[in-house]
Amino acid sequence: MSYVEFQGISKQFGETLAVEDLDISIAQGEFFSLLGPSGCGKSTTLRMLAGFVTPTTGQIHVHGRDITRLPPEARDIGIVFQNYAIFPHMTVYDNIAFGLVERNMTKRDIRRKVEAALEQVGMSGYERRFERELSGGQKQRVALARVLVIEPEILLLDEPLSALDKKMREEMKFWIKEIQRSVGITTIYVTHDQSEALTMSDRIAVMEGGRVLQVGTPVEIYEYPASRFVAEFIGESNLLSGRVQEVTDGRCEIDLGPAAVPAQAPSGAPLSEGSEVALLIRPEMIRLHKVSEDEAPMLEGRIAEEVYQGSLRRYQVETAGQKLTVEVANRPDLPLRSAGEAVALYWNTESGVVVR
Amino acid sequence: MTEIAATTPAPVKSGGLGLRQSQFKWLLVVPLIVFFCIFFVIPVGLIFATSFNPSAIGQVAPTADITLENYIRFFSRSNYLMAAGRSVVLGVVVALVTLIVAYPMAFVIAKTRHPGRNTTLLILVLAAMQLDMVIRLYGMMVILGDNGLINQMLLGLGLTSEDAPVQLMYNFLGVVLGLVQFALPFMILTLVGVIRGIDPSLEEAARALGASRRRAFFRVTLPMSMPGILSGSLLVFALSISSYIVPALMGGFRVGVLPIHIFQQVAEGARFQFGATIAVILFLLSAGAIAIYLRVGARRSGGLA
């Protein structure tokens, strides 16, 4: 049973349609990400759930209750903003106590809960600090404590890592996920960073132009993208345009011009022969060596460029009229190639995914 | 190679230029400093000096003769002490009334996102400052005077009689009303800047934490407007206690505040020394208000102003 349910949600701002006919259901305790480029409607979607924006059409249900027109304070939803929105005129203690004061708790209960919340986020001893005396990561922790202390039904995170430097971001990514798991709170995470979404989420909705393009687990989104946009937005991709030549139960043959290669047929509507499709192969799936004696190369090409990146080497390979990116792990058992060399490209049939 | 040779000296040169620029940029404020010295620092210094000279009718320039007799006279005469008290009360009342009237307007302007509407509202506020003060005060007299619109209306309704109009001006009330209308734009502009600077996500955070619109205003927006409230009030206080034209016209010289006394000493009695003494005391009152403001401001923002 779904816990948070968007039903036919649209939002129009003047002439522009920010969110169009959105249907999403999120399970209790799930870590759900809204992923997309800026202006895709993900923030508007989050703000509709928080109650700062009223949908033009549609309904939002939380735990079976219609909250579409409730004011934010009546929703029992906690939100952490991109800039953390720590109240600068209050101490850390008063910031965290804010929601508890609104709930008319006694001073003693407030003290106990604030102390527990600070402990939970590893910020004990910072009670009397002000916002300007905190680092980015500490503000993040305070913002999260301030929200978790009121024990909301849902936690909303609006690009909470984008204001941090790279190292801090990596650290906080795992820390947030850990806190979320230990509290078990249903979490909706808005981000434009695909690596954050992939590492943290149970499921991801990829959005573009106000629409949801695909909803799925990180594995589904990465390995079986439903469209060219998703394939290109998530991770690095090689997309080869071709034509469907033959379809036989679960397998198909794609004509790429110089050669035809076998591939896995996509789920959903069956492919029709002769239709224009793209074949997606991730750079790390392509090999420059064969794994069995009788493996035949999928394509042949010539190395145009080689870039050394420490743990791996990236090659640009010219083949079938375009350039493919190939990533080869930097291991002693794999052959080294240099620019100008003719190479054969291998990959497992199931690594080639047909994208409509 | 020639390219490299041509480009390498560039950073050194620009670094040298940057250093020279930072030295020369102080030259830009020299005209201001000269102007400020000739027309402010020196005259004010002379007034300070004059206030310590013995009273001599018609004597303008300061002399080497030093005495405290003017100050003793000021503090031993109850009408001057009461005038000082009246000035302070006037400044405080005007600052409070102006704040209460200006805040909602400033809030509306600050929260109006639509650029056209926002500009229109600001122009309306600034339009009030386009006319000369004297003309605006005569306009107020038409409404508030003994034969003004309000009194004529009350007379027409039979609520008052011809020989006992309601006193709306030539008293403390009239001065307050005149000063409030004079000070409103200053207060509104000060507040708009500060309220607009409050991050809207702070109010949203408060709402999401369970505060109603009203509670969020009183717990977040209002305390965060405090710097604007304090500096706007200080500005209005200083404008009010130093205003001569408004007490003169709206109070009809019947509301004896310090600037009225200064004018009487200097223009009517030609007693520059005692006039200067009152001016110094007026200056100290303003300075005292600034000191209190800095104190409160520092405490409000938790030690860092």
Report the CATH number that the domain containing residue B98 is assigned in CATH.
Answer: 1.10.3720.10
- Identify the pLDDT of residue B156: 87
Is residue B294 in a domain? yes
The chain-wide mean pLDDT, for chain A, equals 90
Identity of the residue in A50, A89, A103 whose CB atom sits nearest the CB atom of B208: A50
Task: Give the list of residues 6+ apart from residue A142 with CB closer than 8 angstroms, or none.
Answer: A84, A86, A92, A95, A96, A121, A123, A126, A134
Which SS3 state, helix, strand or coil, does residue B251 take? coil
Q: How far apart are the first and last CA of chain B?
A: 55
As for how many domains chain B has, the answer is: 1
- Listed ranges A217-221, A277-281, A320-324; the one with the highest mean pLDDT: A217-221
Mean pLDDT across B265-275: 89
The pLDDT assigned to B209 comes to 95
The answer to the question of residue B52 being in a domain is: no
- Which chain A residues have a beta carbon less than 8 Å from that of B208? 50-51, 72-73, 75, 77-79, 147
Judged by a CB distance cut-off of 8 A, whether residue B229 touches chain A is: no
Amino acid symbol at B136: R
B38 assigned to some structural domain:
no
Whats the size of chain A, residue-wise? Answer: 356
The reported pLDDT for the residue numbered A74 is 92
Q: What residues of B are in contact with residue A99 (Cβ under 8 Å)?
A: 209-210
Tokens representing A55? Answer: 């949908």
Q: Which structural domain range is residue B277 located in? A: 78-300
pLDDT at A147 over 70: yes
In one letter, which amino acid is A204? I
Query: Smallest CA–CA separation between A99 and chain B, in Å?
Result: 5
Q: How confident is the model at residue A99 (pLDDT cuts 50, 70, 90)?
A: very high
Instruction: Judge: A103–B204 Cβ closer than 8 Å, yes or no.
Output: no
Closest by Cβ to B205, choosing from A71, A85, A89: A85
Q: Judge whether B281 lies within some domain.
A: yes
Determine the residue among B113, B114, B209 to mutate to test chain A binding: the one whose Cβ has the most chain A Cβ atoms within 10 Å. B209
Instruction: For residue B202, list chain A residues with Cβ-Cβ distance below 8 A.
Output: 85, 87-88
Residue A247: strand pairing partners: A252
Mean of pLDDT values over B5-31: 60
Cα–Cα separations (whole angstroms), residue B279 to A21, B60, B93, B250: 71, 15, 21, 21
Contact call for B209 and A51, based on CB within 8 A: no
Does residue A76 contact residue A63 with C-beta atoms inside 8 Å?
Answer: no
> In terms of Cα–Cα distance, which of B212, B205, B221, B1 is closest to B111?
B221
Q: Kindly report the nearest CA distance between residue A76 and chain B, in angstroms.
A: 8
- DSSP strands (E only) in A81-195: 154-158, 186-191
Q: Is residue B8, in this structure, part of any structural domain at all?
A: no
Fill in the DSSP letter of residue A346. Answer: B
Q: Is B197 on the interface with A (CB under 8 A)?
A: no
Q: In the predicted model, is pLDDT for residue B101 greater than 80?
A: yes
Question: Is A50 an 8 Å CB contact of chain B?
Answer: yes
Answer yes or no: do A79 and B199 touch at CB < 8 A. no
**CB pairs below 8 Å between A and B: how many?**
70
Query: Which residues, in sequence order, are CB contacts of A38 under 8 Å at separation 6+?
Result: A192
Q: If you measure CA to CA, which chain A residue comes closest to B219?
A: A98
Q: Does A188 touch chain B (CB under 8 A)?
A: no
> Residue B208 is nearest to which of A78, A83, A91, comparing CB atoms?
A78
Contact with chain A for residue B116, Cβ under 8 A: no
Q: Which of A37-41, A249-253, A336-340 has the highest mean pLDDT?
A: A37-41
Query: How high is the pLDDT of residue B20?
Result: 62
For residue range B170-179, what is the model confidence (pLDDT) as tens digits? 899 999 999 9
Q: For residues B73 and B71, what is the distance between their CA atoms, to the nearest angstrom?
A: 5
Q: In the prediction, which pLDDT does B178 show?
A: 93
Q: In angstroms, what is the C-alpha Rg of chain A?
A: 25
To the nearest whole Å, the CA of B49 is away from the closest chain A CA by: 44
Per-residue pLDDT, averaged over A319-341, amounts to: 84
pLDDT at residue B302 above 50? no
- Banded pLDDT at B21 (limits 50, 70, 90): low
**Domains of chain A with bracketed CATH:** 2-228 (3.40.50.300), 236-355 (2.40.50.100)
Which positions in chain B touch A91 (Cβ < 8 Å)? 302
Q: Which A-chain residues 72-131 have CB contacts (< 8 A) with chain B?
A: 72-73, 75, 77-79, 81-83, 85, 87-89, 91, 98-99, 102-103, 130
CB atoms within 10 A of CB A310: 6
Q: Quick one: pLDDT at residue A5?
A: 93
B205 — contact with chain A (CB < 8 Å)? yes
Whether B58 maps to a domain, the answer reads no
pLDDT at B12 over 80: no
CB atoms within 10 A of CB A306: 18
Minimal CA–CA distance to A36: which of A288, A269, A256, A213? A213
Q: Is B201 in CB contact (< 8 Å) with chain A?
A: yes
B15 or A308: whose pLDDT is higher?
A: A308
- The answer as to whether B25 is a domain residue is no
- Tell me if B56 is assigned to some domain: no
Contact check, Cβ <8 Å, A150/B210: yes
The ipTM value here is 0.84
